[in-house]
């Protein structure tokens, strides 16, 4: 699974430009030993129907989004710099001076030198509209050969294993995609549908169309969520902690999760000695926000990986949390598909 994540995080996949990630996922699904029927819907979601050893009482969907936050080029200056805007939620504090990749070309996000800043500017993050991407061009004509308005850029960030942690760009949510691919490597106990969705970071758009087409009874959204377990943050405000296992949500800014499913997940973790933790704040959101409102409604749960420095060039997750999350998902598939009473 570490190799899967490394390869996935090395692919560019800004919202609406997920093509490289989609092709990788389709290739991995095509060599699975399981019987899988795949399709790509008009918005670009990958839908994979995996035939299990047994049929289900209820249709079960597991969803993870392919896209990542990044930047879109909005213009090119006469001097050869690129103007840009963010795609998805990126904190302005993590942008200045960062290396990026635009169409395979390296660049650096820069702005005015420190001694040129006004006093009030020195005490706040530089707004994105005051920054430019420097790709080493000395004219508009030279720059336009490398990038044009509408092209996208991603953070340049190498993959590193640091102790028991992984550092990489786009762990939100290539780690979730890797978990779903791992589940699809062999024939599962029961039929299930996997959705690798697009455009989550700009409004849960892919999940909306995917869920409408699949029309599941139950959906589990597999994503990453903010871990604020760093120095100076009180425990009650850390939301979740790396190393404590997958994060189970009762509510976020887009979804009030199904209480029955929430209880089943926590009980399953407890009875099988799988680490799990409850998200301790009502913040954020994920594809469940669109899925649970699809058609006549879908019962949803969220199983997330705690991730430090979300939406930055250097996201961090725990290898132990990955393993615990995989174990939990493997246990939930038979429970939700057939084994427990839910209604």
Report the C-alpha gap between 332 and 339 in whole angstroms: 10
258 and 191 co-located in one domain: yes
pLDDT tens-digit series, residues 189-244: 999 999 999 999 999 999 999 999 999 999 999 999 999 888 888 888 889 999 99
Per-residue pLDDT of 131-175, as tens digits, reads 999 999 999 999 999 999 999 999 998 899 999 999 999 999 999
Residues 136 and 266 in one domain: no
At 121, the pLDDT band (50, 70, 90 cuts) reads low
- Among 200, 324, 339, 341, the active-site one is 200
Statement to judge: residues 186 and 126 lie in one domain? no
210 and 199, same structural domain?
yes
The pLDDT of residue 324 is 98
Residue 18: inside a domain? yes
What the block records as the tokens of 130 is 């005051």
Q: How confident is the model at residue 117 (pLDDT cuts 50, 70, 90)?
A: low
Phi, psi of 48 (to 5 degrees): -125, 115
- 188 and 305, same structural domain? yes
Helix axes 19-30, 2-9, angle to 10 degrees: 150
**Count of C-beta atoms within a 10 Å radius of residue 174:** 30
285 lies in some domain: yes
Q: Are residues 44 and 82 in the same domain?
A: no
Is the domain of 176 the same as that of 292?
yes
Is the residue at 163 inside a domain? Answer: no
Mean pLDDT value across residues 318-341: 95
Residue 123: is its pLDDT beyond 70? no
Residue 179 has pLDDT above 90, yes or no: yes
Q: Do 44 and 90 fall within a single domain?
A: no
In degrees and rounded to multiples of 5, residue 233 shows phi and psi of -100, 120
Mean pLDDT, all residues of the chain: 94
Same domain, 54 and 190: yes
Please check whether residue 230 lies inside any domain of the structure: yes
Q: Is 289 left (phi over 0), alpha (psi -120 to 50) or beta?
A: alpha
162 lies in a domain?
no
Q: Which of 91, 101, 128, 326 is nearest to 226 (CA)?
A: 91
Same domain, 197 and 78: no
Identify whether 185 is a catalytic site residue. Answer: no
**Each residue of 31-43: b (16+ CB within 10 Å) or e?**
ebebebebeebeb
Residue with tokens 């430019």: 132
Residue 273 in domain = yes
Residues 51, 80 within the same domain: no
- Among residues 33, 65, 69, 32, the alpha carbon closest in space to that of 46 is found at 65
Nearest to 224 by CA among 327, 325, 332: 325
CB 96 within 8 A of CB 109: yes
Residues 69-98, mean pLDDT to the nearest whole number: 95
Q: How many domains does one find in the chain?
A: 2
Distance CA 241, CA 233 (A): 11
pLDDT band at 342 (very low <50, low <70, confident <90, very high): confident
Domain end: 155, 184, 209, which one? Answer: 155
> What is the C-alpha end-to-end distance of the chain, expressed in Å?
35
Task: State the CATH number of the domain containing residue 137.
Answer: 2.40.30.40
Are 282 and 330 in the same domain? yes
Counted residue by residue, the chain has a size of 343
Calpha distance 60→227 (Å, rounded): 28
State which residues form the domain around 142: 71-155
């Amino acid at each position: 699974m570490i190799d899967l994540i490394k390869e996935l995080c090395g692919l560019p996949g800004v919202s609406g430009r997920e093509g490289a990630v989609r092709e990788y996922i389709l290739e991995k699904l095509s060599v699975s030993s399981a019987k899988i029927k795949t399709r790509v819907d008009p918005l670009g979601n990958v839908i994979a129907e995996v035939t299990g050893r047994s049929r289900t009482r209820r249709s079960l969907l597991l969803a993870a989004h392919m896209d990542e936050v990044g930047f879109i080029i909005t213009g090119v200056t006469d001097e050869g710099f690129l103007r840009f805007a963010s795609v998805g939620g990126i904190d302005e504090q993590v942008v200045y001076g960062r290396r990026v990749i635009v169409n395979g070309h390296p660049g650096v996000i820069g702005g005015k030198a420190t001694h040129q800043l006004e006093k009030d500017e020195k005490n706040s993050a530089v707004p994105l509209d005051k920054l430019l991407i420097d790709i080493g061009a000395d004219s508009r004509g030279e720059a336009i050969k490398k990038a044009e308005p509408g092209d996208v850029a991603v953070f340049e960030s190498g993959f590193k294993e640091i102790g028991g942690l992984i550092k990489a760009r786009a762990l939100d949510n290539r780690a979730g995609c890797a978990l779903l691919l791992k589940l699809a490597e062999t024939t599962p106990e029961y039929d299930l549908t996997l959705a690798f969705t697009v455009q989550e970071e700009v409004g849960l758009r892919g999940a909306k169309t995917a869920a409408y087409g699949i029309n599941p009874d139950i959906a589990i959204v597999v994503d990453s969520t903010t871990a604020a377990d760093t120095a100076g943050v009180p425990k009650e405000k850390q939301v979740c902690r790396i190393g404590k296992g997958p994060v189970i949500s009762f509510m976020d800014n887009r979804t009030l999760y199904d209480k029955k499913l929430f209880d089943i997940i926590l009980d399953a973790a407890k009875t099988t000695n799988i680490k799990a933790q409850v998200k301790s704040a009502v913040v954020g959101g994920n594809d469940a926000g669109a899925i649970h409102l699809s058609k006549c409604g879908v019962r949803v749960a969220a199983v997330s990986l705690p991730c430090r420095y979300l939406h930055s060039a250097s996201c961090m997750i725990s290898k132990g949390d990955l393993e615990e999350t995989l174990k939990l998902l493997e246990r939930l598939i038979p429970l939700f598909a057939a084994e427990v009473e839910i209604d």
